[in-house]
Structure 1
Amino acid sequence: MITTSRVPADKSVQIAFSLNDSTELNDPDNSFPLAFPDLDQQLQPLPPCHASVESVQVFKDHCKMAKEFCDVKKEMALLEERKKKLMAELDDDEKENLDAARLEREFRELAEENQTLISCHNHYSEQLEILRVQNQKRQGSS
């Protein structure tokens, strides 16, 4: 006969026993891990009463759910890590977009300044040519 008792949550407990008594339980499809180290103590499956088929079935179902729960927790952790990476990439992309926008604005400003300087250069070149022509006319008339 198996007796169970409550163990405080801060104490770890390892459960180990054999289900070799029943041929039904030896089926490889019915094999479950008997301890889930990543699972909180209060969620750990309690050993079944081997005299009760219903108890064994509840234990099997509990083990199956515990395994699924652990798998979901692992998948959630992986997805959280993936989310962090994607958020970091998004931040980097947003910074690059801001930098690109700033560079585009700076380019437009410099291009406008360049056009203004080219216009001024052309205007002053024309004025210089006019002054040279006038200077040559004065020297020729004197």
Structure 2
Amino acid sequence: MITTARVPADKPIRIAFSLNDSADDTPPENAFPLAFPDLEKQLQPLPPCHDSKESMQVFKQHCQIAEEYYEVKKEIALLEERKRELISRLDQAEKENMDAAQLTKEYANLTEENRTLKLAQTQCVEQLEKLRIQYQKRQGSS
């Protein structure tokens, strides 16, 4: 026996049927397809009793909750990925800051060394000039 029901166009339709000729109109529990294959088995909506409106309503509510759960789980996964990306960028920025600090320190050291070397050069030039003057005086007096 095939039954039809109105289903909104935006909802996926799952059809299950059996080819054996059983007189029993109630489908076996394992013949009902998993409504949410990515959802853990214990969270799957249980097949409804088709004779009970209340059972069908509970099943629909469970499906809605399972769908919301799946969406939230998907959003959490996306947020965790974004978190990993931001942590990676933060680590990179911290590394760059450490590199910049190290380069700044190295620049300061080299600047100080350059200043010291220029001072030493100036002193050497002055000393050389004094020695030339002394040498010229000796040459002139001899």
Say if 1:48 and 1:59, in contact at 8 Å, map to a contact too. yes
Partner of 2:134: 134
Using the aligned pairs only, state the percent identity: 58
Residue 9 (structure 1) aligns with: none
Question: Within 2, Cα distance between the matches of 1:105 and 1:120?
Answer: 23
Q: Following TM superposition, by how much is the alpha carbon of 1:50 offset from its aligned partner in structure 2, in angstroms?
A: 2.3
Any idea what the Cα deviations from partners look like across 1:38-92, whole Å, max 9, x if unmatched?
1111111112222222221111111011011111111111111121121112112
2:55 aligns with 55
Q: TM-score of the superposition, structure 2-length normalised?
A: 0.76
* RMSD over aligned Cα atoms: 2.0
**TM alignment of 1:24-103, pairs within 5 A:** 26-28=6-8, 31=11, 35-103=35-103
Match of 1:117 in 2: 117
- CA 1:63 to 1:130, structure 2 compared with 1: closer, same or farther past 3 Å? same
* Runs of 5+ consecutive residues of structure 1 not aligned to the other structure: 1-17
Aligned to 2:27: none
SS at match of 2:138: helix
| Partners of 1:76 and 1:58 in 2: CA distance | 26
Cα 1:118–1:37 change in 2 (3 A) is same
Instruction: For residue 94 of structure 2, give the secondary structure of its aligned residue in structure 1.
Output: helix
Distance 2:128 2:10 in 1: 100
Q: Which has the higher contact order (CA 8 A, sep 6+)?
A: 1
Aligned partner of 2:29 in structure 1 is: none
In structure 2, do the counterparts of structure 1 residues 81 and 30 end up closer, same or farther at CA, with 3 Å as the change threshold?
Answer: closer
Supply the AA of the counterpart residue of 2:39. L
How does the TM-score come out when normalised to structure 1? 0.76
List gaps (5 residues or longer) in structure 2.
14-33
Q: Residue in 2 aligned with 1:106?
A: 106
